């Protein structure tokens, strides 16, 4: 009997695991299972055992960014790519064009990308998160076909949240000073 678990690893571990899986023509989860099995029971799986569902080689993650698309970033930059923070005009231009491409490909998002969308953090962060995820799917960084359905569900959910946000968001208020009795 098999059981599914969810693990979170840092970027370096993820890339090493993905590269090792690509060399063995297997899934990263198969290698992770072998490592966990070895660590907990001392047993090992055959070193080149391919996943029974794996029929084609998995793509190897690129060593260097190739097209500087919205999914690429320096390895030392661990901030979420879709958050503007202090990224500057180059990031803004790149994300603006990527968001416009997303609008062209998915007309359902046209309303969310109306004038001023980039000034509302809820809308900007949501649209750009969808944009970055879409780029990862399109470039093969996330090759599981189930992720496509998850992305479409996320787009639908974002659209629903956006419509709700628009109905309930008021005007921006100025920051208030903290009262002395607080």
Share of the chain above pLDDT 70, in %: 77
Each residue's pLDDT tens digit, 13-48: 877 877 887 778 777 888 888 888 777 887 765 544
Tell me what the mean pLDDT of segment 117-132 comes to.
92
The predicted pLDDT at position 22 comes to: 79
CA 92 vs. chain centroid, Å, equals 18
Greater model confidence, 50 or 159: 159
Measured distance CA(134)–CA(126) in Å, rounded: 12
Give the chain's mean pLDDT: 77
Low-confidence winner among 38-42, 72-76, 92-96, 128-132 (lowest mean pLDDT): 72-76
Measured distance CA(50)–CA(28) in Å, rounded: 10
The predicted pLDDT at position 69 comes to: 53
Alpha helices (runs of H) in 24-179, residue ranges in sequence order: 28-41, 88-105, 121-138, 145-168
Instruction: Kindly indicate the confidence band of residue 66, based on its pLDDT and cuts at 50, 70 and 90.
Output: very low
Greater model confidence, 143 or 137: 137
DSSP class per residue in 14-62: HHHHHHHHHHTTS-HHHHHHHHHHHHHHS----TTPPPTT--SPPPPPP
The predicted pLDDT at position 133 comes to: 92
- Give the pair of three-digit tokens for residue 103: 């609008």
Please check the confidence at residue 100 and state whether its pLDDT lies above 90.
yes
How does DSSP classify residue 106?
-
- Give the pair of three-digit tokens for residue 174: 């100025």
- Asked if residues 108 and 115 have their Cβ atoms less than 8 Å apart, the reply is no
The predicted pLDDT at position 88 comes to: 85
**Single pTM value for the model:** 0.53
């Amino acid at each position: 009997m098999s059981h599914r678990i969810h693990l979170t690893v840092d970027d370096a571990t993820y890339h090493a695991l993905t590269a090792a899986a690509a060399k063995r023509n297997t899934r990263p989860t198969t290698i992770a299972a072998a490592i966990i099995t070895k660590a907990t029971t001392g047993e090992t799986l055959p070193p080149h055992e391919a996943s029974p569902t794996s029929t084609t080689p998995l793509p190897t993650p690129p060593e260097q960014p190739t097209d500087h698309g919205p999914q690429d970033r320096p390895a030392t930059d661990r901030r979420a790519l879709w958050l503007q923070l202090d990224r500057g005009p180059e990031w803004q231009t790149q994300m603006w064009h990527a968001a416009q491409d997303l609008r062209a490909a998915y007309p359902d998002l046209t309303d969310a990308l109306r004038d001023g969308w980039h000034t509302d953090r809820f809308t900007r962060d949501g649209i750009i998160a969808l944009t970055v995820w879409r780029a990862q799917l399109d470039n093969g960084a996330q090759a599981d076909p189930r992720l496509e359905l998850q992305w479409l569900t996320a787009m639908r959910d974002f659209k629903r949240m956006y419509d709700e946000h628009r109905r309930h968001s008021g005007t921006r208020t100025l920051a208030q000073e903290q009262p002395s009795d607080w």
